[in-house]
Structure 1
Amino acid sequence: MDALLGALGAGEGLSRFVGGAVRDTLLGLDVQDVDIATRLMPDDVMKRLRKAGIKAIPTGIEHGTVTAILKDGPVEVTTLRRDVSTDGRRATVAFSDDWREDAARRDFTINALYADPLTGEIHDFFGGMDDLAAHHVRFIGDALTRIAEDHLRILRFFRFHARFGKGSADAEAVDACRARSRDLMALSRERIADELLKLLALPNPAPTIALMLELGIFSAVIPEIDATSLVRLEQLLANEARTTTAPDPLRRLIALAPQDTGPADDIAARLRLSNAQRKRIGTALTPNTAGPMEMLYRWGPESSADRLLLSDAEGDVIAAALTRIRASERPKLPLGGGSLVERGLSAGPVVAKALQTVERRWIDEDFPGPERVNAIADEVVGQLLDARQ
């Protein structure tokens, strides 16, 4: 990092840490991503990094962003900017050398803090330090204008309030988000899904989801989320706490969706979720009467946990089943169709049917070992051979 800062002229005041890294450091949180804002032009950044022997990738150079690849991870370096035009989805920018001008185009006051890398001095142009101390999430300037510039800021506001806010949400922001909620229809569904899943990954998103429902935020893009969705989410959160289960944003999205595979898959398709995610949703919502070990055998630990935590079972029943699943390896039937052919069956549908019978008895007997499975297979094959005579 020292070499990077030296190359970027931090000692001459040309570059500063900005955004989440500054915010999270001040809050005593682990810093996930480091961003640097600089007065240097993108081409100059590239030249300086290469001269210093630092790999530089022009990941978004037309918007001023160069990614420096360091041993500890990538660092995004972005030239100071001002917006020339915006349409709610993307912005046309011009480069600047004015720190305040760069700060003014950011979303929230707590995200517009800059730190001198050498002295640690904080540069705060819009009261972000006070808002951070008060756990208050507030748009920079006029909230309606900020949302008109980038519609995704509606969802970002609620996510940041859920993560950093305490008490009532900022009144001006709430009014602006409600007034412009239908702007979300102009966004790609992938961006909506990304923000929603980030919100659902937070420790307790339920109060914020409740606020969004009250304001009608979901009505334009996911109208299926309603008051009963919130009840299911709260029950899932309670089951997670009871079983010390880590937050899983997709599982929480399943709780918010209608508990029917068709409408739930419609939501998944609308949000452009992956095939693997859609399959997991379908598995979670398929009617189920299996016990914990059969669930583990058929669907694996993740989907088994989905079914249990989303079920209406009593808390102690869920906890006991999850404990058993977590302590067990996924069962594997220690016998295949070839074994049945070796016992005298003719290859074909009869083998598949016999294997299903063996499997069912193996499950019903709570997954005994190979010796018992072989005995079951002998019995099943013997009965079929006797029936032919």
Structure 2
Amino acid sequence: MDRITLPDGEWRHRPGLDRLAEVLGARDDRARLVGGAVRDTLLRLPVHDIDIATRHAPEQVLALLKAAGIRAVPTGLAHGTITAVLESGPVEVTTLRRDVATDGRHATVAFTDAWEEDAARRDFTMNALYADPASGTIFDYFDGLADLDARRVRFIGDPYRRIAEDHLRILRFFRFLARFGDAPDPEGLAACVARANDLMALSRERIADELLKLLVARDAVRVVSLMIEHGIFRPVLPEITAAGVARLERCADSEAAAEISPDPIRRLAALLPDDPKLAEGIATRLKLSKAHRNRLTCAVVPDLMGSPYRAAYLLGRQGAIDRMLVHVAEPMDAVIAARHLSHWEVPRLPLTGGALIARGLSRGPDVARTLRRVEDRWIDEGFPDAARVSEIADAEVAQALRS
């Protein structure tokens, strides 16, 4: 077989990376690039995170980096992970490991110096590819290159065992399928379907993290539909049903047409029923941030507020765009509205309560009521300038004084 090497990429020339590899002994096969950086480079995708696997024990890594003057942060020392902080950004360095015990949520590991043992504990074949930092030579122990070429997400070894080790791999299987895959590996799919109830043992934060990543993946609509068809969501998110798939597809298509980045909270809203209380319950269950919880509960409401600009003024620009893309039935209308709003600066009412008092109103609730009426007319008239607002204010104050 011809030797396969890692294509060149801008990330491979990051300042300090060659020196880090040298310090860790890559020339003597003590360190290799691994995981996402290797996979994504082979797929000609952008690389964001760099991981290095090493035969050195964690204490040796710390000592080597200290001696070389490279800042080291023990981010996951119990599992052998140390972050090397380079001038060009962080690089995670992890000692080769093998699993000693797992319970579906956590793993107890032992360190090893065998590359294949480290590869065997990883989830999918495409994530168990290593590369020599200098030559780019690829090391493939489980036919990951063939799977990558076929766009096949395949568990390493027995899928049931891999899932038993970490139940989150069920969701990761579908996320990777949505990002990289074509047809699902039948054995992997069957195992995920059979063990879907294992998801109930996971923390809701881990479920939310995987779900939100999945929803913005390249082929999210097809894969979410597949997950619903096979009952994957039922144990933890039974509210996600086939009824939401068409709206998710419309939302995703509208985002692309409007040249707006895919958004996981908006796409989750598209999947859910039009029920803010239900959405708030789901957000709480998934332990989303307060900002995401508020946004989700707002996005599921189908009230379009009369016009996109009125919605943007009352809900904020993002809230209005969410509702347009989720609830407007005609895709082109949603796209046009979203494009306009994405460049529209939400105005501020050029009037204060003090200006109404200066016109003769007494301090108190009359000021607030009159200010609201002025604001309503200003919105209805399409946010006219200060001169027109002054005319509206004169008329509303006169009416208030007569009343």
TM-score in terms of structure 1 length: 0.97
| Cα deviation, residue 298, structure 1 | 1.3
Corresponding residue to 1:170 among 185, 209, 225: 185
Q: How does 1:148-227 map to 2 (within 5 A)?
A: 148-166=164-182, 168-227=183-242
Q: Contact 2:304–2:324 (CA<8 Å) still a contact in 1?
A: no
Q: Deviations over 1:262-301 (max 9, x none)?
A: 1111111111111101111122223333311111211222
| Cα deviation, residue 326, structure 1 | 2.7
Q: Contact 2:305–2:311 (CA<8 Å) still a contact in 1?
A: no
Of residues 89-98 and 243-252 in structure 1, the stretch that sits farther from structure 2 once superposed is 243-252
Q: Contact 2:270–2:300 (CA<8 Å) still a contact in 1?
A: no
Q: Distance in 2 between matches of 1:203 and 1:105?
A: 27
Q: Distance in 2 between matches of 1:155 and 1:196?
A: 7
| Cα deviation, residue 383, structure 1 | 1.7
The match for 1:40 is 56
CA change 1:312–1:322 in 2 (3 A) is closer
Q: Distance in 1 between matches of 2:214 and 2:184?
A: 15
Residue correspondences, number: 386
Q: Deviations over 1:195-227 (max 9, x none)?
A: 011011113311101111111100000001111
Q: Distance in 2 between matches of 1:328 and 1:19?
A: 42
Identity of matched residues, %:
56
Aligned amino acid, residue 198 of structure 2: D
Aligned amino acid, residue 150 of structure 1: D
Task: For structure 1, list consecutive stretches of 5 or more residues without a partner in the other structure.
Answer: none
SS at match of 1:264: helix
The match for 1:363 is 379
Q: Distance in 2 between matches of 1:29 and 1:3?
A: 25
Q: Deviations over 1:102-150 (max 9, x none)?
A: 1000000000011111221111111111111111110000000000000
Aligned amino acid, residue 82 of structure 1: R
Q: Contact 1:9–1:15 (CA<8 Å) still a contact in 2?
A: yes
Q: Distance in 1 between matches of 2:31 and 2:335?
A: 52
Q: Contact 2:254–2:332 (CA<8 Å) still a contact in 1?
A: no
Aligned amino acid, residue 243 of structure 1: A
| Cα deviation, residue 323, structure 1 | 3.1
1:128 aligns with 2:144: yes
Q: Distance in 2 between matches of 1:225 and 1:261?
A: 14
Of residues 229-238 and 53-62 in structure 1, the stretch that sits farther from structure 2 once superposed is 229-238
Q: CA RMSD in A?
A: 1.2
Aligned amino acid, residue 176 of structure 1: A
TM-score in terms of structure 2 length: 0.94
The match for 1:230 is 245
| Cα deviation, residue 231, structure 1 | 1.7
| Cα deviation, residue 37, structure 1 | 0.3
Aligned amino acid, residue 169 of structure 1: P
Q: Deviations over 1:332-385 (max 9, x none)?
A: 101111111121111111111000010011011110011111111111112222
SS at match of 1:310: helix
Q: Distance in 2 between matches of 1:152 and 1:186?
A: 9
Q: Contact 1:296–1:331 (CA<8 Å) still a contact in 2?
A: no
Q: Distance in 2 between matches of 1:320 and 1:26?
A: 37
Q: Distance in 2 between matches of 1:126 and 1:320?
A: 48
